[in-house]
Structure 1
Amino acid sequence: MLDILIKAFGFILIIVIGFLLKSKGICKREHGQFLSTIIMNITLPCALLSSINNLKITPVLLIALIIGFMGNVITNIIGYLSSNHESPMNKALSMINTSGYNIGTFTLPFVQTFFPASAIAYVCLFDTGNALMCLGGTFTAASTVVSSDQKPTFYSIIKKLFSSIPFCTYIVLFFLSLFHISIPTQVLTITSIAGNANAFLAMLMIGILLEVKLDFSQMKTILKILINRYTISIILSLIVYFLLPLDNIVRKMIVLCLFAPISAVAPVFSTKLGSHSPVPAAVNSLSIMISILILTCLIVIFA
C-alpha cells in the first residue's frame, strides 16, 4: 500500500513540477505542446508496442471497445439534451466538452505504472472505441447541430482517424493479433526505451498545459458540463463493475478509463466550430484536476 501511495504521489508531484516550471517562466505552454507531439507520435506508440505485443483478441476485449464507443455516444446525447433550450453553438459545445476520454496521455501512464502489462490491452481497446468518436464522430454530430457550412465528410473523418499515430498503432496491433504475428524482440528492446519515458513525459506535459484561470461569468455552464460528465461516469462505472459479467481486472481497467479527463482535442474542436468561449479550456483543466484525485483513489483501492 505504501509503495502505491508513493508512486501516486510521484505522479502528482511531476504534474506540480510541470505547472511550477510554467508559472516561473522556465517553460512555456509551447513546450507542453511540443511534449504532446513527442508523446503522441513517439513515446505512446512505443509504450503500446512494448506493452501489448502478442495481444489476443477475445470477446472481452471487444466489450471494452464497445464501452469506449458507447460512453462517447451517451455523453454526447446528455450534452445535447442538457442544453436543449440554448443556442445551437452552446448545444454543440456541450456535446464536445461533455464527451471524449483522455486515455493515451492520462489513463494509460497510470495503468502502465501500477498494473501488469496484460491489463493495458483493455485500456487500448477502450481507447480504440473512444477514438472513433472523439477524433471524428463527435465533431461531425456537433457541426451538424450548428449547421456549419463545412460539415465533415466521411473521407475527412477517416483521414483524421488515420492521421493519429496511436490510433494507427492500435489498428496494427489488432491485425497482428488476428494473424498471430509477434513483433521481434529486437524491435521491442528499442521501443521500450522510448516507451518507458511515456508516463513521466505525459505527467510533465499535463502540468505545463494545466490552466487555473477561470471565467466566473461562465461558471454555471462549466459546472453543468462537469456534473453531467462525472455523473455519467459514476453511473456507467457502477453498471460495469457490478452488473457486467467481466473478470475483475477488466472491470477495473474500464472503470479507470471512464474516469479519464475530457479529451484533449475538445478545446481544439470547439475552436474549429467557431467558438471563442473560455469554457472548453476551463472544463478541460478542471476535469484533469478532478480525474487526478479520482484515479489516485481508485488505484489505491484497485492496485
Structure 2
Amino acid sequence: MEGILIKAFGFLFMILLGYVLKRIGLFSAKDGDVIAKLVLKVTLPMAIISNFASLQFQPSHLIPIAMGFATNFVVIGLVLILTRKMAPARRGFFLINGAGYNLGLCVLPYLQSFFPPESVGIICMFDVSNAMMCFGITFTIAMIVAGGEHKPTKKEIAHILFSSVPFVTYLVMIVMAVLNLHFFTPVYTVAGMIGQANPFLAMFLIGLLFEVKFERSQVRDMVEVICIRFSTAILFALFFYFCLPVPLEYRRILALVVFGPILSVGPVYTERCGYSRSVAAVLNSIMLPVSLFVITVLLVVMGIS
C-alpha cells in the first residue's frame, strides 16, 4: 500500500506542479498545446511500442477489444434513452462526454507504473476499439442526434482516426503481435527510453490544462454526466472483475480503465454539437483528477503496488 500511495502522490505532485507553474506565469495554456503534441505524437506512441515488446498475442486478447466496443455502445444506448426528452444540443453534450475513455493521455501512463509491459498491452487492446468509437461512431451519432449542420462523412471519420498517431500505433503493433512479428531489440530499447518521459509529460499537461470556471445553471448537466459515467463504470468493473474468462491481472486492468476520464477532444466535439465548449472543458478538468483518485483507491483495494 505504501508503494501505491508514494506513486499516487508522485503523479499528483506532477499535476500540481504543472498547475502551479502555469499560475505563476512560467508556463501558459499555449505551452500545453506543444506538450500535448509531444505526448500524443512522440512519447505515447513510443510507450505503446515499448509495452508490446514482450507481448505474445493470445485469443483472450480479443476480449478487451470487444469490451472497448461494448462499453461504449452500452453507454450510448443508455444516454439516448435518458436524454430522449432533452434539447438536441444537450443530447449531443451527454453523448460526447458520457461515453468513451481518455486512456492514452491519463490512464495508460499512470497504470504503466503498476503493471508489467505485457499486461499494459491489454489497455492498448481496449483502447483501439475505444478510440474507434470515440473518434468515429460516437461522434457521428452525437452529430446526428444534435442535428448539427455539419455531419461527419466517412472520409472525415477515417481522417480523424488515421491522423491519430497513438491509434495508428495501436493498430500496427496489434497486427504485428497477431502475425508474431517484432522489431529488432534496439528499437524497443530506444522506444522505452523515450516512452519513460510519457507519464511525467502527461501528468504535467493535465496540470496545465486544469481550469474550473462554469455557470451555476450548467452544474446540473455536469453532475448528471458524472453520475452516468461512474454508475456505468461501477457496473462494468464488477462484470469485468468477476465474470470475464481471462487471467486475474487482465480483469484488474479492465476494471480500472472504465474509470478513465473524458476524452480530451470532448470540448471540441461538444461545440460542434451546438453546446457550450466551456462547460465541457470544465467537466473535463474536473474528471481528470477525480478519475485518478478513484483508480488509486481501487489499486489499494486490489492490493496492487
The TM-score bracket by the shorter chain reads: over 0.9
How many Å apart are 1:54 and its aligned residue?
4.4
Residue in 2 that maps onto 1:38 = 38
How many Å apart are 1:59 and its aligned residue?
2.5
Cα distance in 2 for residues equivalent to 1:299 and 1:249: 12
Cα distance in 1 for residues equivalent to 2:99 and 2:265: 11
Residue in 2 that maps onto 1:139 = 139
How many residues are treated as equivalent by the alignment? 303
TM-score (norm 2): 0.95
Cα distance in 1 for residues equivalent to 2:252 and 2:30: 35
Further displaced range: 281-290 or 201-210:
281-290
Match status 1:286 vs 2:286: yes
Match status 1:217 vs 2:217: yes
Q: Which runs of 5+ in 1 are unaligned?
A: none
8 Å Cα contact 2:98-2:228 kept in structure 1: yes
How many Å apart are 1:229 and its aligned residue?
0.9
Cα distance in 2 for residues equivalent to 1:147 and 1:221: 19
8 Å Cα contact 1:106-1:260 kept in structure 2: yes
How many Å apart are 1:146 and its aligned residue?
2.1
Residue in 1 that maps onto 2:126 = 126
TM-score (norm 1): 0.96
Instruction: Give me the CA root mean square deviation.
Output: 1.4
Q: Secondary structure at the match of 1:85?
A: coil
Further displaced range: 35-44 or 18-27:
18-27
Residue in 2 that maps onto 1:245 = 245
Cα distance in 1 for residues equivalent to 2:84 and 2:105: 32
Cα distance in 2 for residues equivalent to 1:26 and 1:97: 31
Residue in 2 that maps onto 1:106 = 106
> Percent identity of the aligned residues?
36
CA 1:277–1:175 in 2, change beyond 3 Å: closer, same or farther?
closer
Q: Secondary structure at the match of 2:71?
A: helix
Q: Secondary structure at the match of 1:127?
A: helix
How many Å apart are 1:82 and its aligned residue?
2.1
Cα distance in 2 for residues equivalent to 1:232 and 1:106: 19
Cα distance in 1 for residues equivalent to 2:80 and 2:284: 18
Q: Which amino acid aligns with 1:84?
A: R
8 Å Cα contact 2:268-2:277 kept in structure 1: no
Cα distance in 2 for residues equivalent to 1:79 and 1:36: 30
**CA-to-partner distance for each residue in 1:110-165, whole Å, 9 max, x for gaps?**
12111111111110001001001111111100111122332112222112111100
How many Å apart are 1:10 and its aligned residue?
0.3
Cα distance in 2 for residues equivalent to 1:283 and 1:80: 20
Cα distance in 2 for residues equivalent to 1:158 and 1:40: 18
